[in-house]
Amino acid sequence: MEKEKLRQVLHDQQKLFSQKEELVEREVYLDKYLKGNEIIVITGIRRCGKSSLLKIISKKLKEDFIYITFDDIRLSDFDIKNFEDIGDIVAEIHGINTKVTYLLDEIQNVPSWERWVNNLFTREIKVFVTGSNSSLLSSEISTFLTGRNKIIRLYPFSFKEFLLFKHIKPDYKLTDERRGILSGFNEYFEKGGFPLIIKNNDLELSKQYFEDILNKDIINRYGIKKIKEFNDLVLYLFSNVSKTYSYSTLKHVSGIKSLSMIKNYIEYLKNVFIASTINRFDYSVKKQKVSSSKFYVLDNSFLKTIAFNFSENLGRRLENLVFIELIRRGFEVYYHAEKNECDFVIKEGLKITKAIQVCLSLDNPVTKEREFSGLLEALRRHKLNDGLILTLDKEGEIKKDDKNIIIKPVWKWLLTTEKI
């Protein structure tokens, strides 16, 4: 593209970026990323707040910065030679000898960006980049940036961030404040954590996000031809969150005959951070790989706007919410299944350290027996003394078969500062 056109775009982007807006401090310890010269890669689903995080970062910087979003349609004809033009324009704006930090949004839209960013690094220029596709973490890019980058994985708002955005104090000791938290949790449980959905009180945006991600980031990017079959597969998976699935079932419901194609499609969903899967835990990696997997989505809003006949299945929605928080906290998550089943077991190092069961209510004796049996089996299997049951509203502590079972409401667990 012409240098003059690029100059105008960059000047326009600086004005827009500098506009004041209410920003929510994210649960990311930024100090360790501001220090040092490493390239900071911020990844996450579209609309989760990556650009806003760059604004927060910009306010913490001690030196000047340049912000560039490559999602700008005016940069559609951006060429490799324009990288050099950017350096010239930055020198014009800030002065040739001024140290400038680069804040680069949706960088994956530009070919050969890795080489350019690597060159900036060798010149001791601090760089933050964002992107909505896990290709940012691919082996090819890692080759260019080995030992030179740190990763920030950003998700839609956590419950604590949601309360902060809503100006609700997360202190549940007082009755009035507790009511506010519970009301906030009900909204968060249904609408998820996308900032703009919460700000505009517009759950339908979730459907728009979903369609944009599927069309732009998957169907167009990967050149999917069998669109109806792909959509049927996605709808089935989104409507069966937290259930184990078999590839024979997925073949049947989607009409896709190729097993490798189905696996690829699921990987595409994971690549754009819209969904994730977990395996049954087994100390044999071989057995683990052939066991059935479970599918989860990474924002609860999709369960209201996309999943078929799912909106009233509160138990599975609650389990999905817990899964998102476990992933957000950086845990390696599996499920336990032998004679009974436990929703989540957490692996740290070489062993399982936590077992968690999620259920809407323990009022039904049959449900209570099933949930306790699965949790106790997991505790015995992994030689653990303490287990956790997360419910919608029950709280307490029970000794059962020499095991200590803690029962806690999900909303309260989401506000804990400990890792689990």
Stretch among 138-142, 272-276, 328-332 having the lowest mean pLDDT: 138-142
In total, the chain counts a number of residues equal to 420
* 206 contacts 300 by C-beta, under 8 angstroms: no
> What does the pLDDT read at residue 284?
76
Which phi-psi region, left, alpha or beta, contains residue 76 (left: φ > 0; alpha: ψ -120 to 50)? alpha
Share of the chain above pLDDT 70, in %: 95
Looking at residue 141, what is its pLDDT? 62
Per residue in 181-226, pLDDT tens? 999 999 999 999 999 999 999 999 999 999 999 998 899 989 999 9
Amino acid at 135: S
What's the pLDDT at 107? 87
Given this model, what pLDDT does residue 161 score? 97
Q: State how far the alpha carbon of 371 is from the alpha carbons of 100, 162, 332, 341, 420, in Å.
A: 56, 30, 22, 8, 19
Q: In this structure, how many other beta carbons lie within 10 angstroms of the beta carbon of residue 86?
A: 20
Q: Give me the pLDDT at residue 412, please.
A: 96
273 against 136, higher pLDDT: 273
pLDDT in tens, 141-172: 666 676 788 999 999 999 999 999 999 998 88
Identify residue 56 by its one-letter amino acid code.
I
Contact 100/65 with Cβ under 8 angstroms?
yes
SS3 387: strand
pLDDT at 48: 96
Name the percent of the chain lying above pLDDT 90: 81
Q: Band of the pLDDT at 420, cuts 50, 70, 90?
A: very low
* Mean pLDDT (the chain, rounded): 92
| pLDDT at residue 165 in the model | 96
For residue range 8-60, list pLDDT tens digits in order: 999 999 999 999 888 999 999 999 999 988 999 999 999 999 999 999 999 99
Burial of 132 (0-12, 13-18, 19+ CB in 10 A): buried
Please report which confidence band the pLDDT of residue 419 belongs to, taking 50, 70 and 90 as the band edges: low
Residue 312 has pLDDT above 70, yes or no: no
pLDDT over 90 (residue 409): yes
pTM, two decimals, is 0.94
- CA geometry: angle at 72 spanning 69 and 73, to 5°? 160
Is residue 139's pLDDT more than 60?
no
With a cut of 80, say whether residue 140 has pLDDT above it.
no
If you search the block for the tokens 């996308």, which residue do you land on?
194
**Burial of residue 181 (number of CB atoms within 10 Å: 0-12, 13-18, 19+):** buried
**Domains assigned to the chain:** 3-153 (3.40.50.300), 190-414 (no CATH)
Chain segment 60-102, per-residue pLDDT in tens: 999 999 999 998 999 999 999 999 999 999 999 999 999 999 9
Dihedral sign computed on CA atoms, order 293, 294, 296, 302? positive
**pLDDT tier for residue 354 given thresholds of 50, 70 and 90:** very high
Q: Identify the three-state secondary structure at position 350.
A: coil
How many Å is the maximal CA-CA distance in the chain? 75
Q: Is 38 helix (H, G, I), strand (E, B) or coil?
A: coil
pLDDT given at position 173: 80
The per-residue pLDDT for 229 is: 97
